[in-house]
């Protein structure tokens, strides 16, 4: 990659960080209260993480750290890490952490999912579990972000994703209303996510499981590097 590519990537990353800060500046304080009604599937993802003892778990796009705090309580033997591109969200995350009783087990930092390694020391760039919760739908190069996340997995690791699906089994008027509402917040459900992961399986030998939830309102994926296999729960 040339120096010019690096400069352009850095500029795009700074622009996206500013956009996310604008989106969340006025909402970060009420985020957890409002999102609990429509970010569906987060707690199931946390229950199914099942990290190994003393495993390292990373949330990409951790927002207010709501998931990290919950996961730290569910999995008391693991170490947790989270990063976000929005400084506004990280401010709230740090406050939440201070009140959570889990501060010593969770490390937060600023970073971009499109280039996560930049934000981490070289010796700390592998994780047993990585998860993205309602974040891919906001990352411009979401395919690149998935590839980067897979590259950070330790042997036997797993990448868990939950995000908006296409609400494929819900009435059409609901679908179009939801899409328009989400667009206000720069959220774009990734229509081709399942297809992309199937192609990635063929290309690099990962194995991906797909579970649509809530009639397609949210989509759940577990991606494993070649070798490991563990089934996730059936549709709810």
Ligand X SMILES: C[S@@+](CC[C@H](N)C(=O)[O-])C[C@H]1O[C@@H](n2cnc3c(N)ncnc32)[C@H](O)[C@@H]1O
Asked whether position 161 contacts ligand X by CB under 6 A, the answer is: no
Locus of tokens 């991606």: 223
87-106 binders of ligand X (CB under 6 A): 89
Token representation of residue 139: 């990352």
Name which of 133, 132, 111, 135 is nearest 121 in CA terms.
111
Is position 130 an interface residue for ligand X (rule: CB under 6 A)? no
- The dihedral sign for the CA sequence 20, 23, 25, 27: negative
SS3 208: strand
Give residues 15-74 in contact with ligand X (rule: CB under 6 A): 16, 20, 35, 39, 42, 61-63, 66-67
User: Which CB sits closer to ligand X, 48 or 84?
Assistant: 84
In angstroms, give the least distance from the CB of 154 to ligand X.
21
Start-to-end CA span in the chain (Å) = 44
State how far the Cα of 202 lies from the Cα of 112, in Å rounded to an integer.
27
Q: Which stretch binds ligand X (CB under 6 A): 97-105, 117-125, 130-138, 226-234?
A: 130-138
**CB nearer to ligand X: pick between 133 and 167:** 133
Question: Interhelix angle for 3-25 vs 87-98, to 10°?
Answer: 60
**Smaller CB separation from ligand X, 196 or 207:** 196
CA distance 194 to 184: 24
Binders of ligand X: how many residues, by CB under 6 A? 22
Which one of the spans 112-120, 153-161, 173-181, 190-198 is the region binding ligand X (CB under 6 A)? 112-120
Kindly report the number of other CB atoms within 10 A of residue 19's CB atom: 15
The reply to whether 138 sits near ligand X by the rule CB under 6 A is yes
Give the integer Cα–Cα distance in Å for 178 and 141: 22
Contacting range for ligand X; rule: CB under 6 A; set: 107-115, 165-173, 174-182, 212-220: 107-115
Q: Which residue among 49, 69, 85, 106 contacts ligand X (CB under 6 A)?
A: 85
Q: Does 113 bind ligand X (CB under 6 A)?
A: yes
- The half-sphere exposure of 91 on its side-chain side, counting CA atoms within 13 A, is 11
Binding site for ligand X (CB under 6 A): 16, 20, 35, 39, 42, 61-63, 66-67, 84-86, 89, 112-114, 133-135, 138-139
């Amino acid at each position: 990659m040339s120096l010019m590519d690096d400069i352009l990537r850095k500029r795009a990353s700074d622009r996206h960080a500013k956009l996310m800060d604008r989106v969340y500046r006025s909402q970060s304080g009420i985020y957890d209260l409002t999102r609990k009604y429509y970010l569906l599937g987060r707690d199931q993802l946390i229950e199914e993480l099942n990290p190994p003892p003393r495993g390292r778990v990373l949330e990409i796009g951790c927002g207010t750290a709501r998931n990290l705090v919950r996961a730290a309580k569910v999995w008391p033997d693991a170490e947790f890490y989270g990063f976000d591109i929005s400084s506004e969200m990280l401010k709230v995350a740090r406050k939440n952490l201070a009140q959570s009783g889990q501060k010593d087990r969770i490390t937060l930092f600023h970073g971009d999912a499109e280039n996560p390694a930049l934000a981490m020391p070289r010796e700390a760039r592998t994780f047993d579990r990585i998860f993205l919760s309602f974040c891919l739908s906001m990352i411009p190069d979401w395919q690149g972000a998935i590839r980067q996340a897979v590259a950070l997995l330790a042997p036997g690791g797993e990448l868990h994703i939950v995000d908006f699906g296409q609400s494929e089994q819900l009435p059409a008027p609901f679908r179009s209303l939801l899409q328009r509402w989400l667009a206000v917040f720069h959220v774009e459900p990734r229509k081709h996510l399942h297809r992309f992961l199937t192609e990635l399986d063929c290309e690099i030998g990962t194995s991906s499981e797909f579970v649509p939830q809530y009639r397609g309102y949210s989509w759940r994926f577990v991606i494993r590097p070649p070798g490991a296999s563990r089934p996730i729960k059936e549709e709810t």
